[in-house]
Each structure stands twice: as structure tokens, then as C-alpha cells.
């Protein structure tokens, strides 16, 4: 089953917790045991798994990415969002999560975080569940 989520971001850079939407797709898929892939079909956004409870953690990740890849740098790409492309590749374009008992097998503190680096925009996220 392949399902497309729509995510509205509100800032230029933001980590949005989409765990509940992904879990919802897993339930609809009726796959009991398998793997869930969450895929970002954009080049200035990425995805990661990290803590979603203390929101200081996503903020720290974003701020450190900004220190490593500042918005204004000696970049060639003329659209002014080269940093967003680079951050997307550092984070990655997909995550995988084991599925067990029809639920995501996330660790206690883990959340699925969509990484917006050139927002605000409406973005798409593809969720696909494969049984094993």
C-alpha cells in the first residue's frame, strides 16, 4: 500500500512530528508484520527519526544544522536555497521503521520528524508498508 500525506509547514526551517499520520497509514494497510518506509519526494526537505517529546531536541538539531550549513554561504546555486538542498542530503530522503502487531515499532522516545528547510510550503510524504 502506497499512501501520500500532505504536510503544511509554517517556517523556513522546521522539524514537524508526523508520527501519528504515519501510524494511521500503517493501521489502514492492515500489515501485521513488516517494514514501513517514509519517503520525501522533495530536494529541499528531508526526514529523520529522533526525540519528539522535548521539543528542544528538534530545535537543537535544526540550529546545529544551521551552524554547519549556514543559509548564506559561498554557494553556486542561484535560487538562494542551496543550504536547504545540502541539509536535505545530510538528513536523508527516507526512513524505515519496523512494523510489528500492526503498529510502528518505534523506541520509547522516537518520533518521525519531517525536515522542512525551504518553507513554508505544502509538502508531500509517501508512506509505503511492506509485509514480511
The SS3 call for residue 68 is helix
Alpha-carbon span 1 to 11, nearest angstrom: 31
Looking at the Cβ atoms of 27 and 90, the one nearer to a second copy is: 90
- Please pick, from the candidates 5, 17, 24, 57, the single residue that binds a second copy as defined by CB under 8 A: 57
Among 5, 12, 19, 61, binds a second copy (CB under 8 A): 61
Integer Cα distance of 125 and 42 in angstroms: 9
Question: Which of 8, 10, 11, 109 touches a second copy by CB under 8 A?
Answer: 109
- CB under 8 A: which stretch of 6-14, 16-24, 106-114 binds a second copy? 106-114
Q: Are 99 and 33 in contact (CB under 8 A)?
A: yes
Does residue number 27 form part of the binding site for a second copy (CB under 8 A)? no
Q: Is 19 in the site for a second copy (CB under 8 A)?
A: no
| Span of 5-13, 20-28, 32-40 interacting with a second copy by CB under 8 A | 32-40
Minimum CB–partner distance for residue 49 and a second copy (Å)? 4
Q: Is-contact 48 115, C-beta < 8 A?
A: yes
**Whether the Cβ atoms of residue 47 and residue 88 lie closer than 8 Å to each other:** no
C-alpha cell of 43? 530536494
Binding-site member from 35, 66, 103, 121 for a second copy (CB under 8 A): 35
Is 7 a residue that touches a second copy (CB under 8 A)?
no
Rg (CA), the chain: 15
The three-state (H, E, C) secondary structure of 79-106, written as one string: CCCHHHHHHHHHHCCEEEEEEECCEECC
In the complex, the residues that contact a second copy under the rule CB under 8 A are 1-2, 33-35, 37, 39-43, 48-51, 54, 56-57, 59-61, 63-64, 68-69, 73-79, 82, 85-86, 88-98, 100, 105-110, 124, 126, 128-132
Amino acid at each position: 500500500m502506497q499512501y501520500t500525506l500532505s504536510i503544511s509547514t509554517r517556517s523556513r526551517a522546521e522539524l514537524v512530528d508526523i508520527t501519528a499520520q504515519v501510524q494511521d497509514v500503517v493501521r489502514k494497510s492492515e500489515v501485521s508484520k513488516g517494514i514501513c518506509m517514509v519517503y520525501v519526494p522533495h530536494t529541499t526537505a528531508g526526514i529523520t527519526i529522533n526525540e519528539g517529546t522535548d521539543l528542544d531536541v528538534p530545535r537543537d538539531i535544526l540550529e546545529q544544522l544551521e551552524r554547519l550549513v549556514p543559509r548564506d554561504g559561498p554557494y553556486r546555486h542561484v535560487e538562494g536555497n542551496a543550504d536547504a538542498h545540502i541539509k536535505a542530503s545530510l538528513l536523508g530522503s527516507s526512513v524505515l521503521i519496523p512494523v510489528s502487531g500492526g503498529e510502528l515499532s518505534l523506541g520509547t522516545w522516537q518520533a518521525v520528524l519531517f525536515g522542512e528547510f525551504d518553507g513554508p510550503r505544502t509538502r508531500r510524504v509517501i508512506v509505503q508498508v511492506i509485509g514480511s
